Copies of this chain bind each other. A is one copy, B any other.
Amino acid sequence: MGSSPCRQSDDNPILADVYSPSDFPPFAVTVDLVVLTVRADALCALLVRRGEAPFRGRWALPGGFVRVDESVDDAAARELREETGVGGLHLEQLGTYGEPRRDPRMRVVSVAYLALAPDLPVPVAGTDAAEAAWVPVDRVGALAFDHGRILGDGVERARAKLEYTPLGAEFCGAEFTVAELRRVYEIVWGVELDPRNFHRKVTGVEGMLEATGESTTRDGGRPAALFRRGPASVLHPPLVRG
């Protein structure tokens, strides 16, 4: 913020420190979540079916009100936990959407967040959501409010993130093989990647992967080494989209 939330009452010092509804336009603030995962060979988003007007019965992004005593970031983390039943997922701000009539009832400003999740068993229906489901992002129809645009922004952000961060691993489980990670990249980017060059690349980038020492044959063939996410937060050099 910055200037003067109490501008109109600044000449009255007794009002300078108290909340007065006439001092500022009334806004509602919500958080919306773009929760993405990779499952069944598709990039999927977590959607909920609205049980109330407006847009009753329409699919929408999960989300909800920011409470008076919690930060906006905390509200997003809380909603994510409520919707997925899991904590500790990667969560970052995507953008804020504040068109005057994006909600037909009143002035609502929404802060959108992007979360990358591993393939969770099944979405937990939220307290106020009639239904929840993973929907492939290229099969999503019209969403409520401006959620279609928000989802699009989230997908594009996720695709870009894979290039210069190790966050592709967030889509995998705690331990994964190079081939599993490569399939994540292929699905999110919609391209085919050379397995051999990909292997050389990701195992060569400093801090991206940490070998566990274990291996698995769950993909068939020769046992593959298992890795964890490494400590790097930025990749040097970045991966490149085919």
The chain A residues found within 8 Å of chain B, CB to CB, are 1-7, 10, 16-19, 21, 23-33, 48, 50, 52-54, 60-73, 93, 95-100, 102-111, 128-129, 144-145, 147
In the complex, what distance in Å separates the CA atom of A25 from the CA atom of B30? Answer: 10
Q: Which residues of B contact A21 (CB under 8 A)?
A: 21, 26
How many copies of the shown chain assemble into the complex?
A: 2
Select the residue from A5, A66, A103, A108 with max chain B CB neighbours within 10 A. A5
B100 touches A1 (CB 8 A): no
Closest to A106 in B: B19
In the complex, what distance in Å separates the CA atom of A6 from the CA atom of B104? Answer: 12
Chain B nearest CB: distance from A140 CB in Å?
15
B3 touches A30 (CB 8 A): yes
* 15 chain-A/chain-B pairs, Cβ below 8 angstroms: A1-B32, A2-B30, A2-B32, A2-B64, A3-B63, A5-B106, A6-B106, A16-B53, A18-B105, A19-B106, A19-B107, A27-B27, A66-B109, A72-B96, A72-B109
A3 touches B95 (CB 8 A): no
B30 touches A29 (CB 8 A): no
Q: Which residues of B contact A50 (CB under 8 A)?
A: 3
B68 touches A100 (CB 8 A): yes
In the complex, what distance in Å separates the CA atom of A230 from the CA atom of B28? Answer: 40
Q: Which residues of B contact A109 (CB under 8 A)?
A: 1, 27, 29, 66, 72, 109, 111
Chain B nearest CB: distance from A112 CB in Å?
9
In the complex, what distance in Å separates the CA atom of A99 from the CA atom of B102? Answer: 24
Q: Name the contact of A2 in the complex, choosing from B7, B53, B62 (C-beta under 8 A).
A: B62
In the complex, what distance in Å separates the CA atom of A103 from the CA atom of B7? Answer: 14
A1 touches B68 (CB 8 A): no
B72 touches A4 (CB 8 A): no
B70 touches A104 (CB 8 A): no
Q: Which residues of B contact A129 (CB under 8 A)?
A: 3
If the complex has contacts A1-B28, A104-B17, are A128 and B69 also in contact, measured as CB distance less than 8 A? no
In the complex, what distance in Å separates the CA atom of A19 from the CA atom of B114? Answer: 29
Q: Name the contact of A96 in the complex, choosing from B61, B68, B111 (C-beta under 8 A).
A: B111
If the complex has contacts A1-B145, A61-B2, A145-B1, are A7 and B128 also in contact, measured as CB distance less than 8 A? yes
Chain B nearest CB: distance from A206 CB in Å?
16
Other A-B pairs, 6, CB within 8 Å; known A27-B29, A27-B109, A98-B111: A2-B60, A2-B64, A2-B147, A3-B62, A5-B28, A16-B54
